[in-house]
Amino acid sequence: MAEQINAFHMAQQQFDHVADMLNLDPQVREMLRWPMREFKFMIPVRMDDGSRRVFFGYRIQHNDARGPAKGGIRFHPAETIDTVRALGMWMTWKCAVANIPLGGSKGGVAIDPSTLSVHEKEQLCRGWVDQMWRNIGPRQDVPAPDVGTTPQMMGWMMDEYSKLVGQYTPGVITGKPLGGGGSEGRTEATGYGVIYHVREAMKHLNMEPTKSWAAIQGFGNVAQYAAIGFIEILGGKVACVSYWDRKDRTSYTVSHKDGIDPHFLQSITDQYGAIDKDKARAAGYKIESGEAWISKDVDVLIPAALEGQVNAETVQKISGRVKILAEGANGPTTPEADEVLKARGIFDIPDFLCNSGGVTTSYFESVQNDMNFYWTKEEVLTKLDEKMTGAFHAVLNMSEKEGVYMRDAAYMVAIGRVVKAMELRGWL
Ligand code: NAD
């Protein structure tokens, strides 16, 4: 995607579209179309063979009017300043729509981490913090894991920061392991958050959750807990999930006529979200092509794998029974497919609203770090439900009041909140 479409131009276009709808002042637009601060820096790392290799790191702080900036750090070979700018801008809107008092940021290093030894990865993480520590912190900017970064890496980064500032500061970074400053409920948070949104959408559409079926794409962190939540929170059934098979270099849909058992499938799934299809088949599951999930005769579709999966071609395969598309993944729906969804009256829960349970629980993590007092899983999930339910209804109200599509309404709520904070602070 990064090679074909410039992600930052896309993020600016989306913003411009809603800025037009809101009739935003040109000066305000200019302040929001660009990041407030950008850092690009060199991270020299002593490699295991004794040589020194230079990496380039980025941190983009798009906007911090509503509170400290928040956003992950990506280690990916295709990382560029523009992908990081786009992701930082999207974080501003995601935190604002979830109504958590944080701004938006993102960081990265152009590297495939699987090519580094454990020691080299640790040096890279510590080197990133050595360059950025004056400009991150619990009151400034709080990083987190993203593609290619792990809870262990967050632990190294937190340790490096704590050494540099001279005091233990777990709240500088989230996504830490449990027992190392992490929060209960973070594993479930994004998938369950998707389900809290689906529950509210079903109430709005007068659907009966216990009679509903869902089809889910993916079986990683988000999809697994979306599947468990759909069954255990809503009382519905899940027809299928899907996954990418590295060995066969293709994707498969794994379905069951009576509905899948996500706990059983978890027991035969590896850490990358790949299911052992032979064991699934032996247990009575049907293995179909990777695209089969989207044409299932279900009430709810939950893409929770990759971007661009609901596109001009696949959108045509969606069954007439589908009433809700809940975007667990980031950017799963292309603009062409969006037009078809609108025309067919399928209720869309847009990605940065639908999957905001993850960042909301990261926010809870840093709050608990600041207090040095930790909540139970039940307390975390109850607070998450309140936040997600509130966010959903704010967007639904905007959609009904202005007569606009849910995606546009979510942008309108988010941008409106950021602009209000900028006004209150006297920036405008
Ligand atoms: P993950 O790596 O844990 O899982 C990804 C899943 O997708 C795996 O099961 C993989 O096999 C499957 N997959 C990959 N390619 C596929 C293909 N072509 N067809 C079918 N399945 C395929 O990732 P995740 O954390 O669950 O994230 C999934 C999506 O949700 C991403 O878009 C991510 O950016 C977004 N997201 C995640 C979180 C979070 O907290 N984890 C928060 C917000 C958004």
CA-closest residue to ligand 1 atom 40: 358
Q: What angle do CA 288, 289, 293 make, to 5 degrees?
A: 80
CA-closest residue to ligand 1 atom 36: 329
Confidence category of residue 94, pLDDT binned at 50, 70, 90: very high
Instruction: Calculate mean pLDDT across residues 74-97.
Output: 94
Q: Which of 197, 222, 266 to mutate to test the pocket of ligand 1 (most atoms within 8 A of CB)?
A: 222
Kindly state the percentage of the chain with pLDDT values over 70.
99
Does the structure show a pLDDT above 60 at 360?
Answer: yes
CA-closest residue to ligand 1 atom 42: 358
Backbone angles phi, psi at 288, to 5 degrees: -120, 180
CA-closest residue to ligand 1 atom 23: 220
The reply to whether 202 and 172 lie within a common domain is no
The reply to whether 201 and 149 lie within a common domain is no
Decide if 29 is inside a domain.
Answer: no
Q: Which of 154, 190, 217 to mutate to test the pocket of ligand 1 (most atoms within 8 A of CB)?
A: 190
The reply to whether 256 and 347 lie within a common domain is yes
Q: Among this protein's residues, is 106 annotated catalytic? A: yes
Decide if 335 is inside a domain.
Answer: yes
CA-closest residue to ligand 1 atom 32: 329
- 64 three-class SS: coil
Cα(411) to ligand 1 centroid in Å equals 23
The reply to whether 213 and 300 lie within a common domain is yes
Question: What is the predicted pLDDT for the residue at 4?
Answer: 59
Decide if 257 is inside a domain.
Answer: yes
**From the alpha carbon of 355, which atom of ligand 1 is closest?**
43
| CATH code, domain with 334 | 3.40.50.720
The reply to whether 210 and 350 lie within a common domain is yes
Question: What is the predicted pLDDT for the residue at 174?
Answer: 96
pLDDT averaged over the chain?
A: 95
Cα(221) to ligand 1 centroid in Å equals 7
Say how many C-beta atoms besides its own lie within 10 A of residue 19's C-beta: 21
The reply to whether 285 and 316 lie within a common domain is yes
| CATH code, domain with 123 | 3.40.50.10860
Q: Which of 321, 354, 387 is the last residue of a domain?
A: 354
Instruction: Calculate mean pLDDT across residues 115-132.
Output: 97
CA-closest residue to ligand 1 atom 35: 329
Decide if 111 is inside a domain.
Answer: yes
**From the alpha carbon of 307, which atom of ligand 1 is closest?**
32
Rounded to whole angstroms, the Cα distance separating 107 from 41 reads 11
Does the structure show a pLDDT above 90 at 58?
Answer: yes
Cα(243) to ligand 1 centroid in Å equals 9
Cα(74) to ligand 1 centroid in Å equals 15
CA-closest residue to ligand 1 atom 17: 244
Residue of 78 and 304 predicted with greater confidence: 304
245 pairs with which residues across the strands?
250
CA-closest residue to ligand 1 atom 5: 220
Total domain count, the chain:
2
Decide if 418 is inside a domain.
Answer: no
Instruction: Calculate mean pLDDT across residues 25-48.
Output: 97
Decide if 364 is inside a domain.
Answer: no
Q: Which of 333, 354, 375 is the last residue of a domain?
A: 354
Decide if 23 is inside a domain.
Answer: no
Give pLDDT tens digits for 2-18.
345 688 998 998 899 99
Q: Which of 313, 336, 354 is the last residue of a domain?
A: 354
Confidence category of residue 335, pLDDT binned at 50, 70, 90: confident
The reply to whether 280 and 172 lie within a common domain is no
Confidence category of residue 307, pLDDT binned at 50, 70, 90: confident
- Name the residue range of residue 259's domain: 187-354
Instruction: Calculate mean pLDDT across residues 209-229.
Output: 97
**From the alpha carbon of 293, which atom of ligand 1 is closest?**
20
Question: What is the predicted pLDDT for the residue at 345?
Answer: 96
Give pLDDT tens digits for 257-286.
999 999 999 999 998 899 999 999 999 999
Decide if 392 is inside a domain.
Answer: no
Give pLDDT tens digits for 279-302.
999 999 999 999 999 999 999 999
Instruction: Give the DSSP per-residue string, 323-369.
Output: -EEE--SSS-B-HHHHHHHHHHT-EEE-HHHHTTHHHHHHHHHHHHH
Cα(188) to ligand 1 centroid in Å equals 14
- Sequence length of the chain is 428
Instruction: Calculate mean pLDDT across residues 188-217.
Output: 98
**From the alpha carbon of 244, which atom of ligand 1 is closest?**
11
Cα(224) to ligand 1 centroid in Å equals 10
The reply to whether 342 and 260 lie within a common domain is yes
The reply to whether 318 and 229 lie within a common domain is yes
Question: What is the predicted pLDDT for the residue at 2?
Answer: 37
The reply to whether 122 and 196 lie within a common domain is no
Rounded to whole angstroms, the Cα distance separating 287 from 290 reads 9
Instruction: Calculate mean pLDDT across residues 20-36.
Output: 95
Taking CB atoms within 8 Å and a gap of at least 24, the contacts of 134-139 are 135/37, 135/39, 135/59, 135/61, 136/59, 136/161, 136/172, 137/68, 137/161, 137/165, 137/169, 137/172, 138/68, 138/169, 138/171, 138/172, 138/366, 138/369, 138/370, 139/68
Give pLDDT tens digits for 63-72.
999 999 999 9
Q: Which of 258, 220, 222 is nearest to 240 (CA)?
A: 258
Catalytic residue among 106, 237, 323, 387: 106
Rounded to whole angstroms, the Cα distance separating 147 from 391 reads 26
The reply to whether 47 and 145 lie within a common domain is yes
Cα(104) to ligand 1 centroid in Å equals 21
Residues whose beta carbon lies within 6 Å of some atom of ligand 1: 190, 217-223, 242-244, 251, 273-274, 290, 304-306, 328-330, 355, 358
300 pairs with which residues across the strands?
214, 324
Question: What is the predicted pLDDT for the residue at 1?
Answer: 41
Q: Which of 244, 252, 255, 266 to mutate to test the pocket of ligand 1 (most atoms within 8 A of CB)?
A: 244
58 pairs with which residues across the strands?
40, 108
The reply to whether 172 and 297 lie within a common domain is no
Instruction: Please name the amino acid found at residue 360.
Output: T
Cα(25) to ligand 1 centroid in Å equals 37
